[in-house]
Amino acid sequence: LEPDLLQFIPRPVTAVVFLFPVTEKYEQSRREEEERIRKEGQTVSKDLYFVRQTIGNACGTIGLLHALANNTEVLQLGDGALKHILEKTKAISPDDRAGFLEDDKDLASVHEASSQEGQTAASSAEQDVDTHFVCFVQRDGNIYELDGRKPFPINHGPSSDLLLDAAEVIKTFIARDPDQLNFTVIALAPKQEEED
């Protein structure tokens, strides 16, 4: 997460997906953050796509959905489940989007198929897991944390370089639980051109 090493990542980075351990320190911080924002408020871009996560153990799918849905201007979506979901949910609330996803058979089959393709055994929807995925995107000059477990997106302030700014926010997650090791960062970036 050091700036000089992050310079090797092709730009522009359009989303950052972050996996981290859910600990009591994190949960306490999450509750305090929510309370502070409810009291003080925050600015949230009207162009931000956010969905609540009400499906168990689907945080990776929701994180990827956030990454892709907030980048439709740079991605070409073919016909399929994702395009269908975005068309049906773009004009409804985050809670209504969650309800739609709960009932959407296409998402369920895609989620099930992709979760079985990994190198480790997939968790069942009812199983307790101790890690969680969130997504960071940039909208209207600000960096947003999109976490479907939270009631709203979190505006982390002005951003001129999504990757560098997301790294700074991610460092606060790591500093909160320095004894934890289960952290992973993935950047949605353009394919790097091969040199001759």
Q: Which residues are known catalytic residues?
A: 59, 132
Burial of 162 (0-12, 13-18, 19+ CB in 10 A): buried
> In Å, what is the CA distance from 86 to each residue of 17, 30, 39, 49, 92?
19, 28, 31, 9, 10
Torsion of CA 69, 75, 76, 81, to 10 degrees: -30
Report residue 104 as tokens: 């959407």
> Is the CB of residue 168 less than 8 Å from the CB of residue 2?
no
SS3 of 74, please? coil
Taking CB atoms within 8 Å and a gap of at least 24, the contacts of 176-179 are 176/23, 176/25, 176/26, 176/29, 177/20, 177/21, 177/23, 177/25, 177/26
Residue 41 gets the label, from left (phi > 0), alpha (psi -120 to 50) or beta, of left
Tokens of 168: 């700074």
